[in-house]
Chains A and B, each alone.
Chain A
Amino acid sequence: MIEIEELSLSYGDRKALNEISLSVPPGAVTGFIGENGAGKTSTFRVLTTWLLPDPSTRRVMVDGIDLLRNPREACSRVGVLPEQLAFPGELRVHEYLRYRAGLKRVAAKEISAETARVLQAVNAADMTQRRLDTLSQGYRQRIGLADALLGSPPVLLLDEPTRGLDPRQITQFRQLIDELRGNHTLLLSSHVLGEIEQLCDRICVISQGQIRLEEDRQAWTKRLSQAGRWHLELSEEVDQAEVTRWLKDQPEIVAVQRSDHTWSFRSDSSLGTRIGEHALESKWVIKELRSEPATLESLFLEWTGTESADERRVS
């Protein structure tokens, strides 16, 4: 598991992470989402000890190891698939993985078996003799993940794992991550929110170096169902003021907006029947009643604001 308390990281005068606190339970797949420059990669870099956090940081625990006191031990509990894969192209897949296994302190007599295991896990067992510079993007990602899996680290950090993959490869990669669920604690950074929605048990939203939201699937699913938008169009004879009043009187309806004889508002998906019943009683003629379910994308924009970090920096 990962426990972060008041983690700060500065690049010169700029604070990339501002006292963030985050908890990733063991065995869960947690989606880590945020705009470019929000602080996702910086968080990963602290967890891999590539960067040291500011001295004000209170606690960073990785699989029960205090990263601030024992960085090398903590680092050995983490497998990482970085956003930017840099392989030594002259090596063959098995040579590279054997070399990496040695660096990760896999016992010499177990290196062959471990290399075969991780290649099997990522469905790339037939690639052992291929040179790394001849691999397709999909296989590069797989070998990167195989590398992260070497030594069975309890924590896996995957930074944009499906970047540059075609739809078939993305599906295969998602299956692969699904298979790792339960055996590893996964922190998955991605801009593809559909992927996060599909794969993750929890989500954590980061923006401008601060955690905006941390929720499990149940909580965010409920939030999505409540955040759906309804559109109601009535005939011209109805009393617009009366309709608006009735809608505003309903406790579960919020953000009522009107344009001529069309109303839009937010509420959960169970409202349709009640609107229908009330329309019958009040003799409203419904021209159209439809609901648009909320998506993680729409919620993400709400949580983080509509302007991206890059745009903020430019302005």
Chain B
Amino acid sequence: MNRTIGLLRRELLSTFVSPVSWIILVLFLLVMGANMYLSVLAVQGDLRQLVVSSYGGLVFWFMFLVIPPLVTMRSLAEEQRQGALEVLMVTGISDGSVIIAKWAAASIFFLTLWICLLPLWGALSFVSQVEVGILWTTNLGVLFIGSAFIANGILASALTAHPLASAGLAFTFNVALFMMHFFANLFRPGDIELLWIEHVSAIHHMVDELARGILDLRVLIFWGSLTVLSLFLATRVLEKRRWS
């Protein structure tokens, strides 16, 4: 456990001193700030609708799908390429500890981005009524769905030694989870046989449930399970190198 925490601290240090992380943070705040401003205009003063408007639009989903691959693309892929992973693993640290530390570090950075948005909501709450409950459930969704997307990114990063390929792969995983529901609605709207897609759909869970203040434990369990599955697979991929 101490080793995992030690590695997590090192990962966090590396993340927060990296200029790339700060560029991502600044771009994220600019884009999401602008998105929130446009959402305020769109809801025409009815700030109770602001959460759905801010967290349901294309800008939100673009950031939500693009940032996790960017955050995770270097975590294992770059280290494999440079030989740093070998230097790390020969200390006897377990594969699982490495995966968990890297996932936790990326998740903490990802969450930091969203936490940085909270002062904006705080400022808005001074001028009008903001639905705090909805804000909580929405951010819980960001936490759980985001963690699963980060875990997918870690899995992609374990699968390849090239950061860009890793980012592409993670983006594909996450977009597949996003697009499945989109295409089902586009080509076969109302088809009862495709209702199961709603149970695995990030859009449905976020826009139709969490951003409306509906907290269904099954949703959190689903995304938590997907996170565990991706991390388990990433650990197996890392172990597989020993039989190369």
Of listed B2, B7, B242, residue having the most chain A CB within 10 A:
B242
Asked if residues A88 and B86 are in contact (CB atoms below 8 Å), the reply is no
Complex Cα–Cα for A11 and B13 (A): 36
Whole-angstrom distance between the Cβ of A57 and the nearest chain B Cβ: 13
At the interface with chain B, which of A70-78, A172-180, A232-240, A302-310?
A: A70-78
Complex Cα–Cα for A85 and B93 (A): 18
Asked if residues B90 and A88 are in contact (CB atoms below 8 Å), the reply is no
Contact A51-B242, Cβ < 8 Å, known A86-B83, A90-B14, A99-B10: yes
Judge whether A48 is part of the interface by a CB distance below 8 angstroms. Answer: yes
Chain A residues whose C-beta falls within 8 Å of the C-beta of B243 in the assembled complex: 52
Give the residue of B9, B91, B244 whose beta carbon is less than 8 angstroms from that of A11: B244
Chain B residues whose C-beta falls within 8 Å of the C-beta of A45 in the assembled complex: 86
Contact A86-B84, Cβ < 8 Å, known A50-B242, A51-B244, A99-B6: yes
Judge whether A82 is part of the interface by a CB distance below 8 angstroms. Answer: yes
Chain B residues whose C-beta falls within 8 Å of the C-beta of A11 in the assembled complex: 244
- Tell me which residues from 205 to 242 in chain A have a Cβ below 8 Å from any Cβ of chain B: none
Asked if residues B89 and A72 are in contact (CB atoms below 8 Å), the reply is no
Judge whether A113 is part of the interface by a CB distance below 8 angstroms. Answer: no
Judge whether B23 is part of the interface by a CB distance below 8 angstroms. Answer: no
Q: What count of chain B residues pass the 8 Å CB interface test?
A: 27
Complex Cα–Cα for A100 and B243 (A): 26
Q: What count of chain A residues pass the 8 Å CB interface test?
A: 28
Chain B residues whose C-beta falls within 8 Å of the C-beta of A48 in the assembled complex: 86, 90
Whole-angstrom distance between the Cβ of A138 and the nearest chain B Cβ: 19
Asked if residues A100 and B86 are in contact (CB atoms below 8 Å), the reply is no
Asked if residues B83 and A84 are in contact (CB atoms below 8 Å), the reply is yes
Whole-angstrom distance between the Cβ of B23 and the nearest chain A Cβ: 16
Asked if residues B87 and A82 are in contact (CB atoms below 8 Å), the reply is yes
Complex Cα–Cα for A87 and B84 (A): 7
Whole-angstrom distance between the Cβ of B208 and the nearest chain A Cβ: 43
Complex Cα–Cα for A108 and B82 (A): 29
Complex Cα–Cα for A80 and B88 (A): 11
Whole-angstrom distance between the Cβ of A145 and the nearest chain B Cβ: 13
Judge whether A104 is part of the interface by a CB distance below 8 angstroms. Answer: yes
Judge whether A269 is part of the interface by a CB distance below 8 angstroms. Answer: no
Judge whether A91 is part of the interface by a CB distance below 8 angstroms. Answer: yes
Asked if residues A103 and B93 are in contact (CB atoms below 8 Å), the reply is yes
- Tell me which residues from 58 to 105 in chain A have a Cβ below 8 Å from any Cβ of chain B: 72, 75-76, 78, 80, 82, 84-88, 90-91, 95, 99-100, 102-105
Asked if residues B89 and A91 are in contact (CB atoms below 8 Å), the reply is no
Asked if residues B84 and A103 are in contact (CB atoms below 8 Å), the reply is no
Give the residue of B86, B87, B90 whose beta carbon is less than 8 angstroms from that of A75: B90
Judge whether A21 is part of the interface by a CB distance below 8 angstroms. Answer: no
Complex Cα–Cα for A72 and B88 (A): 13
Asked if residues A80 and B79 are in contact (CB atoms below 8 Å), the reply is no
Judge whether A49 is part of the interface by a CB distance below 8 angstroms. Answer: yes
Give the residue of A87, A90, A105 whose beta carbon is less than 8 angstroms from that of B17: A90
Complex Cα–Cα for A52 and B242 (A): 5
Whole-angstrom distance between the Cβ of B214 and the nearest chain A Cβ: 43
Complex Cα–Cα for A103 and B2 (A): 8
Asked if residues A105 and B90 are in contact (CB atoms below 8 Å), the reply is no
Whole-angstrom distance between the Cβ of A40 and the nearest chain B Cβ: 15
Judge whether B129 is part of the interface by a CB distance below 8 angstroms. Answer: no
Q: CB-CB contacts of B198-218 with A at 8 A, as 1s and 0s?
A: 000000000000000000000
Q: CB-CB contacts of B1-30 with A at 8 A, as 1s and 0s?
A: 011001101100110011000000000000
Q: Which residue of A lies closest to B243 (CB)?
A: A52
Contact A90-B18, Cβ < 8 Å, known A52-B242, A102-B6, A103-B6: yes
Complex Cα–Cα for A290 and B46 (A): 103
Asked if residues B13 and A91 are in contact (CB atoms below 8 Å), the reply is yes
Asked if residues A103 and B83 are in contact (CB atoms below 8 Å), the reply is no
Q: CB-CB contacts of B62-97 with A at 8 A, as 1s and 0s?
A: 000000000000000001001110111111111000
Whole-angstrom distance between the Cβ of B136 and the nearest chain A Cβ: 36
Q: Which residue of B lies closest to A151 (CB)?
A: B91
Complex Cα–Cα for A314 and B10 (A): 43
Asked if residues A88 and B14 are in contact (CB atoms below 8 Å), the reply is yes
Asked if residues B92 and A102 are in contact (CB atoms below 8 Å), the reply is no
Whole-angstrom distance between the Cβ of A156 and the nearest chain B Cβ: 12
Chain A residues whose C-beta falls within 8 Å of the C-beta of B9 in the assembled complex: 99
Give the residue of B6, B7, B79, B92 whose beta carbon is less than 8 angstroms from that of A72: B92
Provide a sorted-by-A list of 6 A–B residue pairs whose CB atoms are within 8 angstroms: A49-B92, A75-B91, A86-B83, A95-B13, A104-B91, A105-B3
Interface residues of B (CB under 8 A from A): 2-3, 6-7, 9-10, 13-14, 17-18, 79, 82-84, 86-94, 241-244
Contacts A86-B86, A103-B91 known; list 5 others, CB within 8 Å.
A48-B90, A87-B84, A88-B10, A91-B14, A103-B88
9 interchain residue pairs of minimum CB distance: A86-B84, A102-B6, A48-B90, A75-B92, A84-B83, A103-B91, A52-B242, A86-B82, A86-B83
